[in-house]
Every structure is written in C-alpha cells, then in structure tokens.
Amino acid sequence: MEGIILDNIRNKLALLPDLPGCYLMKNQEGTIIYVGKAKVLKNRVRSYFTGSHNGKTQRLVANIADFEYIVTSSNMEALILECNLIKKHMPRYNVLLKDDKTFPYIKITNETHPRLEVTRRVIKDKAKYFGPYPNAYAAQQTKKLLDRMYPLRKCGVMPKEVCLYYHMGQCLAPCEKEVQKSEYEQITQDIAAFLGGGHEAVKKDLQQKMQEAAEELYFERAKELRDQIIHIDALMEKQKINTTDTKDRDVFGYAVDKGWMCVQILYMRQGKMIQRHSSVFPFYGEAYSDFMSYVTQYYSDNPALPQEILLPDVLDEESLANKETKPEIAIAAPAEADLQQGEDTPESAEEAEARATAAEEAAAAGIVDAAGGASILQEWLGIKVLVPQRGLKKQMVGMACQNARVAIDEKFRLIERDEERTSGAAISLGESLGLERLSRIEAFDNSNIQGTNPVSAMVVFIDGKPARKEYRKYKVRTVVGADDYGTMREVIRRRYERVLKENLPIPDLIVVDGGKGQISSAIDILENELGLFIPVCGLVKDDKHKTAQLLVGDPPEPVALARDSQEFYLLQRIQDEVHRFAITFHREQRGKSMVTSKLDSIPGIGEKRRKALLKHFGSLKKIKEASVDDFRTLSIGEKLAKQILDALKDEEPTS
C-alpha cells in the first residue's frame, strides 16, 4: 500500500507546473491536513518530499498520502485562495487563527439615536467600528470611559421617560426631546478622534472646563471633570512609545522554538503604542510561510485596517530559537529617545544586493520571501505593507520580535515549572520512599461528625496531577459510629476487591489520612485478605490541621522530607484534595438525611410523598412557606397539609 502511495506521489510531482497556486495535502482517508501557497508550485511541493526536515514537518510529511493543487493567475490570488481554503477545511497542520472573529471592537451603531457597544461580530451595517482590542477588558474599560464623557444613548430599548443617565449628564435624552443629527455627528467625530489617539486634546479641553467650573464655584462639576481626566490617564498610561508621525500602524513580530510559534502584534495609533496581542501555537510547515498565513487570516475579517503594516524579515530560526533572552520587563523596547529619532536610514547598496540574493535563493527553494509576501499583502489590502531594513521602523519590528521571544520562552518555562511541580515531584517522592516507579497515587479520607453519616472518599493523582474522572465516593455500610479504623478497613476492602475483579490499574502508592492505626488497617486488608502488596503511607496533620509528617512501612516510620520541597507540596495538595472531596460528600449526605428525617417523621408521609413534595416545591424552605391550597395539586388534603406545616413549624429553632 505504501509503495502504491509513493508511486502516485512521484507521478504527480513530475507533472507539477511552474505556476503560482495553492496545494492541498491529504492523508490516507482523503482528509485535507495541510494547505499552502507557492509562487512556483513545482519547487514548493517537491521540497516536502526531498531533503531533510525538522521534527514537526516530518510529522506532516509522514501523514501525506496524496495531494492536489489549484493554479492561480497571480500570487495575490494564491494568498486569498489559501486563506479561504484554510477557513473552509480547518486542516490539522495549518496555523489556524481560531480567535480571528473573537477580537472585541467598539461600535457606534448606525441608528437614529446611536449608542456605543462592545461587539465581537463585525457586519456591514454602516456602523463605525474601532479596534480590534486585544481583550474584552480593554474594550469594556474604554467604552466605560467614553460613556462618561459623551452623552450617547445607553439603553437598548427607548424608555418612556428620562433615566438616571440624563440626570448625570451622560445622555441627551432622545426619549424626552428631539436631538439634532448634527449633534450626534459632532459626538461621533469626537469619539473617533479620541479612539484614534487624540486623547491629549480631549484631556486638555477637559482641564480647561474643569478650571472654568472651579472658578464659577461649580465644584461638583469640576470634580466630575477631574475624575474623567484621571480615567483617561489610567487608560492611556501604557502609551509610552512614540513615533515622530501620527500614523496608525500594526507592527508584527514572530519567534519560533521547539515547533511552536509566537506572533506578537503591537498596535500603534496616532504614533503611540496603545496595546499588544500575543498568539502562541504549534506550526508544521515552513516558519515564514505559516507566519504570513497567520497575518492573512488576521486581516481577512478585520474591517478596521491601519494606515501601515510593518512585517519582519525572514528570521534565522536556529539562531533565534537558541538565543537567550532574560528580560526584566514584560514589554522589551528600545529607549524612547531611539524611537523618536529622525527618518529611517536608507538601505546601502551592499545590503540591498544581499537581501535580493537571499530572496532569490528562498524563491528557488519554494519558500515565501518577506518582500514578496509584503507586496502581495499590500496589493490585496490596499494599504502600505513594509518589511523595514534599517532605522526606526526596523527597531519597532525588532521590539515585536523580542516580545514574541519573551512570550515563547515564558511558555516553556511555565511547562518546565509545571513538570517540576507534578511529574518531577512524583518521581522525587518515589525515590524518597525507595520505589522504582511512582506514577499512580490513590488517597483516602474518612469524614463523619459525631459518628453520623460516615462516608469516605478516594482521589487519584497520575504523574502528580489529579485525575478527577477516577475519583470515587463511598457510603460506609458496616461501621456504626466514629470508628476510623473500621471505616478504613471497609473502604480499602471494597476498593481493591473491585480493582481485582474488574482488572483496574493497581496504584504504585496508597495514601491514607492518618497515622499508624490507619496504615496498619489498610495493610492488613491488602496483604492478608486480598494478597496485594502495595506500599501504604500515612499523612499526619499538626494541631493546625496542616500536613506535618509522612509515615511509611510496617511498622510505620517517618520519612524526612524538607517542608519546602516539591515532594512535600505534592503530598499537601493530595491531602487537601481528598479532604475537600470527602467533606463535600459528607455535607451532601448530611443535608439529605436532615430533609428525610423532618418529612419522614410526619404521619402519612412516606418515601413516595416525600419525593413528590421535594420535587414540586424544590426545597424544605419552600414547603414551610406554602399555603394549604398549594398542596392540593399533589392530592394532599387540608388535614394532612396542616399536619405537614405544623410539624415543620415545630422543628424551627426558637429564639
């Protein structure tokens, strides 16, 4: 079968044209697993089946059983077609901008009486959209500030009379009086100017009005204006990076490591950096091609285009991936003075020649070159798209790439930290206990109050992480009163009888909540009744009910663990989790038994009627508050209804 597939691919490769287009890679089931574009289909598609590839690309190539291609008349058509095919087929190995339609925007509605909204759905409704914002919080905070400053309608449905917003000066009250269209147009222009980065002019105007209000002794109005200025400062405090012009720009950067890519977008509005957005995802193809695929998808549904887009050049992936970056701040940036220097320095002839040579080599290998990608994107979007080589704009792109490197490094540091806390801690704990392997841990805890409603619970941790689907609850059947040892024996017997009967996984370690008595009870059942020799340890708590000591063996002996070690923290998490699970189950059972006793003690109320009452009224409290007539729908007469209400009333505590 494999030979047939290879012969089919070889035959198709020989027929590939020297034309631009898109290619669709398929697996054995005929499912499209990857979509790509190429200036020269022959070069690009052949490159997948020749030479060596990194691990991620090898995984993609290993799953290719067939391919097809679509020839286009231009590179721009190939770019658009690739974007549409990715959205249609959602291939497994493509970069998928899953949140491309979830970016929030601020919208000024196209209505007779417009209002501000935060929306994630952009449609052609003649409304004005501003954004996108990197998250909903940023959009909501901005809208909240605009609502205070500009008196547009706040209500969804026009009320019959003026509301509180009118009295607060935050609404023009179109429900009460006529508002001229010109007035709305002026407010819309002011909001657009503010969102476009003109907040300094707005702030200056507010400061003047505040001064005038204070001079006229309108101190409340002056305070409102002062608060608005404070809110503007708070919202715009991150706008520290400025350029000499006032253009709106989106600045892109990317970084790759271990088969993952991070794309950073810096939003520059009116020459100021106002926000950034970060995406981290696995990629399987050639890095820059997949990066450009991300950019294309991002703008395919984005109506709020900037005036200029800045893209990075093709990066040296190997040197970038191995570069050590240890930033002290979240956003690494050049000094503000550097960013505010003069125009970009022109590219030298030698640099231009070297870049052209590199682009030719990339094209020959079928790889997307930066200049070509920018040119196609510019033609498609109708705005300037640059790949800066020197000067200020190069620094801005470098800042975006540096932030991408910071973000991807942080991802792997978090993964390493998580492994240290979980699987690493489990391995270290196993070594401390002398176990060859410690993957699966099952922990038990008993719960009762003065011997009532005794229950037990078991939690499972696999490689240091809770496996919640395997948690189990036990109602104690054979033990009466507060017999912790007897409860432990019953629950251990029931659990591991089932393990043997159903051939379930046997744990590497059993953890019981308690000391020598609980450990001995568990070992006795396991070894003498069930023939299982599983290590059992006990966790002893101190007088503050915190994990204090680990006991293991028969007879049990303490194991020295540092209180600040990951092994000790893992044991704490296990003990806290099983205790939480047992207490929650015990409260549920106690609550049910209290309801049962109150209703079952009433003559004429059996199991069937008790369930019907609780189902109809919902709770014991609702039954107490019911009238005699409310019971008639349950076929309960006046006499029995009064008995129920009197009995429940008698059980209420007296003050």
Model pTM above 0.75: no
Model pLDDT for residues 584-631, shown as the tens digit of each residue: 877 776 655 555 556 666 777 777 787 788 778 877 778 888 888 888
**Three-class SS of residue 436?**
coil
Paired strand residues for 472: 458
Share above pLDDT 70 across residues of the chain, in percent, rounded to a whole number:
78
* In-domain check, residue 487: yes
Residues 508 and 477 in one domain: yes
Residues 73 and 142 in one domain: no
* In-domain check, residue 302: yes
> Of 433, 450, 471, which closes a domain?
433
* In-domain check, residue 346: no
Residue with tokens 């498609």: 380
CATH number at residue 311: 3.30.420
Residues 466 and 562 in one domain: yes
b/e sequence 105-118, b meaning 16+ C-beta within 10 Å: bbbbbeeebbebeb
Q: Which of 80-89, 117-126, 388-397 has the lowest mean pLDDT?
A: 117-126
Model pLDDT for residues 152-183, shown as the tens digit of each residue: 887 877 777 778 777 777 787 778 788 788 88
Looking at residue 653, what is its pLDDT? Answer: 44
Model pLDDT for residues 286-334, shown as the tens digit of each residue: 888 889 888 988 888 666 788 899 999 887 544 444 444 333 333 333 4
Residues 584 and 607 in one domain: no
Over range 75-84, report the average pLDDT: 83
| Mean pLDDT rounded to a whole number for the chain | 78
CATH number at residue 504: 3.30.420.340
CATH number at residue 620: 1.10.150.20
Query: Which H or E run contains 511?
Result: strand 509-513
* In-domain check, residue 13: yes
Higher pLDDT, 442 or 416: 442
Residues 281 and 384 in one domain: yes
Q: Is the pLDDT of residue 98 over 90?
A: no
Cis peptide, bond prior to residue 159, ω within 30 of zero: no
Looking at residue 196, what is its pLDDT? Answer: 62
* In-domain check, residue 618: yes
Asked if residue 303 lies in contact with residue 129, where contact means CB atoms within 8 angstroms, the answer is yes
**3-state DSSP helix/strand/coil % of the chain, to nearest 5:** 45, 20, 35
Q: How far is CA 304 from CA 267, 268, 383, in A?
A: 12, 13, 12
Looking at residue 332, what is its pLDDT? Answer: 38
For residue 515, how many other CB atoms are within 10 A of its CB?
Answer: 15
> Of 46, 62, 89, which closes a domain?
89
For 158, the domain range is 105-237
Over range 225-249, report the average pLDDT: 63
Looking at residue 321, what is its pLDDT? Answer: 45
Tell me how far apart the alpha carbons of residues 571 and 558 are, in angstroms, rounded to a whole number: 14
Residues 545 and 511 in one domain: yes
Beta-carbon contacts of residue 294 (< 8 Å; ≥ 6 apart): 95, 97, 261, 263, 279
Q: How many domains does the chain have?
A: 5
pLDDT band at 356 (very low <50, low <70, confident <90, very high): low
What dihedral angle (degrees, nearest 10) is formed by the CA atoms of 345, 350, 352, 357?
A: -160
Residues 127 and 39 in one domain: no
* In-domain check, residue 412: yes
Looking at residue 494, what is its pLDDT? Answer: 92
Q: Where are the alpha helices (DSSP H) in 133-279?
A: 136-149, 164-167, 181-195, 199-215, 219-235
Model pLDDT for residues 272-283, shown as the tens digit of each residue: 677 778 888 888
Q: Is the pLDDT of residue 227 over 70?
A: yes
Residues 194 and 168 in one domain: yes
Residues 448 and 537 in one domain: yes
Looking at residue 97, what is its pLDDT? Answer: 67
* In-domain check, residue 52: yes
Model pLDDT for residues 1-58, shown as the tens digit of each residue: 566 677 778 888 888 888 888 899 998 888 999 998 888 888 888 888 887 766 667 8
Read off φ and ψ for residue 249, nearest 5 degrees.
-135, 150
* In-domain check, residue 329: no
Looking at residue 339, what is its pLDDT? Answer: 41
> Of 378, 406, 433, which closes a domain?
433
Paired strand residues for 264: 253, 278
Residues 425 and 289 in one domain: yes
Asked if residue 78 lies in contact with residue 21, where contact means CB atoms within 8 angstroms, the answer is yes
Q: Is the pLDDT of residue 453 over 70?
A: no
Q: Is the pLDDT of residue 243 over 60?
A: no
Residues 247 and 135 in one domain: no
Residues 463 and 536 in one domain: yes
